[in-house]
């Protein structure tokens, strides 16, 4: 049994879920003061490149994980701009 897809899916799920608490906290507190804009921009760019890489490889865990993470990073960037 090849466990590679399972490992990839679990890794993608965990790293994607790591953003959820920050998005929820920022939304509830209406404050993103402690979040670095530069870090979010670099992260979003890196995740977008991972997404493109996953699409080229047709690797579902890479595509889904990075698509959702990119959306969450963009939400955080939007909230950061909104709650200045």
Alpha carbon distance 65, 51 (integer Å): 8
Provide the pLDDT for residue 19. Answer: 85
For residue 1, what pLDDT is reported? 86
Question: In the chain, pLDDT over 90 holds for what percent of residues?
Answer: 74
Label residue 5 by pLDDT band (50, 70, 90).
confident
Average pLDDT of the segment spanning 63-67: 94
Q: Which fold has domain 4-82?
A: Monooxygenase (1.20.1280)
This prediction has a pTM of 0.87
Express as a percent the part of the chain with pLDDT over 70: 100
Nearest alpha carbon to residue 63 among 76, 73, 75, 53: 53
For the stretch 6-42, pLDDT in tens is 998 899 899 889 889 999 999 999 998 889 999 999 9
Rounded (10°) CA dihedral 12, 72, 74, 69: 0
């Amino acid at each position: 049994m090849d466990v590679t897809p399972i490992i990839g899916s679990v890794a993608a799920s965990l790293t994607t879920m790591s953003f959820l608490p920050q998005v929820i906290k920022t939304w509830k507190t209406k404050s993103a003061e402690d979040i670095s804009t530069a870090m979010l921009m670099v992260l979003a760019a890196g995740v977008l490149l991972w997404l493109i890489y996953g699409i080229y490889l047709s690797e579902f865990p890479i595509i889904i994980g990075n698509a959702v993470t990119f959306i969450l990073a963009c939400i955080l960037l939007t909230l950061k701009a909104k709650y200045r």
